[in-house]
Amino acid sequence: MRTMLAGAALAFLLTQGAAAQTTDCAGLAGLRIAAADITLPTGGAEVTEAAAVADANGAYCRVMGAIRPVDPAAPAILFQANLPAQWNGKALQFGGGGYNGRIPATTGLERHGLAGTPTPLARGFLTFAGDSGHQSASADDASFALNAEALRNFGYQHIRKTLDAVRQVAIAHYGRAPRRVYFNGGSTGGREGLTAAIRWPEAYDGVITWYPTASFMGLRLWGAMLARAVYEDGSAGWIPPAMVSRIARESLARCDALDGVADGLVSNPDACRRGSAAALEALRCRGGETGNPEACLTGAQIERTMRVYHEGYRLPFAFANGATDYLGYNSLEGIAMQLGSQRELLAPPRSGPNAHHVDRAYQFFRYFVNDGRDFDIRTLDVMAPGPLRERIREISALFDATATDFSAFAARGGRIIWLQGHDDPSVSPLENRRNYAAVVARMGQAATDRFMRYYELAGLAHGGGRFSPTWESLAALDAWVEQGTPPDGAAVTDGTRGETRGRTRPLCAYPTWPRYRGGDPNNAASFACATE
């Protein structure tokens, strides 16, 4: 018996000693990671480069690596990890954007971080990210989706595969894995953050998600709906840039002061929306369906394009999550719609000359659904997609981050900070609001408040806008996870260039919004978080 105990003790000591062994930065080059150390199927991984760096972030080891696919025809997942010399034991994973295809920056501030503050890396966080499982010079390129493994990697699998590979790098270098793992991203990266919490609640401790494309499938179908609305019948629904600007300008003038002060921001879009029908009707051409294209809107422009943009659509079938629609945008509440600079639809569509979402939808349907074959997106009937219907549901199940049950994530202390701009023309603020409300409906307000905060911000578009909020969000998330202190009472600072740079606003948890109560309109203290 004593011999067995001694053997067990020796094995334990040997195990502990092995775990404590560390590898210096240069020695990490060539490190091989077994497929068994990665949760999802891969061909294993390896570190391709490792170099000691000393810069404004301090001293750290920059590691480049590749996660090999199972399918030899699939691309690898390329990743970068930065291992600080003074490690705090925590890791921050950065999300990507668009259709990804490249490793996002990992050595700067968190998304919308406060200028002048130390970066996460400088504060001792191990920072890392992957390229989502394919390589492309353009984040608009969806051709990778022709490979099934690359498609699954982009949809969700690259998130966990990259984390697992970097965990092994940390163990090799420090002798231990991160004790906390956070995720920070916006748009596609925001969807990735929600996906991390939904699919792997045991692996992540906190998420900061900015304007996530959570309803991914709904958004792509909305782009196809917009294509028909704008470009059918000789592009009868197209609205020229001057009129797009006029609609945004007049909406802002109509609604700016609904929060108590004219400050160039629509902080109360719900009140603004109640007057939108009358405002739109006032823009209708009165002398038939013709007139100066920059002076009024025709029936086709109103009933097709403005309706789809402002109201969204409803399907006769459901996505994988049970949703049957995609809500519209604040296109009569101050945002500038993305309808392109020219009337004619290019073949293939291209963002800039054509409506941005039409280009994105074309790329999606060509490569995710149509096996790479070219087609005219105006021929796609979203309401009756025929044999494409099951593929649409399949993609929805792979990509959508619209789950409502976060109980496992919340139970182990996970926290989510979710932020969405009213002025976003790329991701519907109404859609993300509804996604949050669905979580509340499922879990209850009190339970949701214990792990999630959802904020809507006036003036924030899709990464910029009339008010580009900057905030030490990672510090706020870390404090919530570590000390249980939620980010209540926080303020954000405007990072836009110009005379409004530096103004502040309170960060108001939905459904409240900042109402002016007197004083300096550039100071957050002059506002109170209010409801109607």
Residues 482, 479: Cα–Cα separation, whole Å: 5
Closest CA to 380 of 361, 401, 402: 361
Residue 424 bears catalytic tag:
yes
Residue 462 bears catalytic tag:
yes
Residue 143 bears catalytic tag:
no
326, 392 in Cβ contact below 8 A? no
Q: What are 180's two structure tokens?
A: 């906390």
Q: Which DSSP state fits 509?
A: B
Half-sphere exposure of 25 (CA within 13 A, CB side): 16
* Identity at 338, one-letter amino acid code: Q
Half-sphere exposure of 476 (CA within 13 A, CB side): 24
Q: Which DSSP state fits 465?
A: B
Note if the bond before 241 is cis, omega within 30 degrees.
no
What is the Cα 388 distance to its own chain's centre?
26
Closest CA to 216 of 373, 392, 40, 33: 392
In the set 424, 468, 478, 494, the catalytic residue is 424
Burial of 525 from C-beta contacts in 10 A (0-12 / 13-18 / 19+): exposed
Q: Is the dihedral of CA 283, 286, 287, 289 positive or negative?
A: positive
Strand pairing class (504-506; 513-516): unpaired
Residues 38, 35: Cα–Cα separation, whole Å: 5
Residues 240, 230: Cα–Cα separation, whole Å: 11
* Identity at 379, one-letter amino acid code: T
In the set 187, 215, 267, 276, the catalytic residue is 187
**DSSP labels, 451-482:** TEEEEEETTB-SS-BSS-EE--HHHHHHHHHH
Could you count the other beta carbons within 10 Å of the beta carbon of residue 218? 24
How far, CA to CA in Å, does 367 sit from each of 77, 96, 141, 361, 389? 19, 20, 9, 10, 15
Q: What are 99's two structure tokens?
A: 């259709």
* SS3 category, 130: strand
In the set 134, 158, 173, 462, the catalytic residue is 462
Residues 378, 374: Cα–Cα separation, whole Å: 12
E-strand ranges in 22-112 read 32-33, 45-55, 58-67, 77-84, 90-94
Closest CA to 428 of 456, 389, 395, 387: 456
* SS3 category, 457: strand
Enzyme catalytic residues: 187, 424, 462
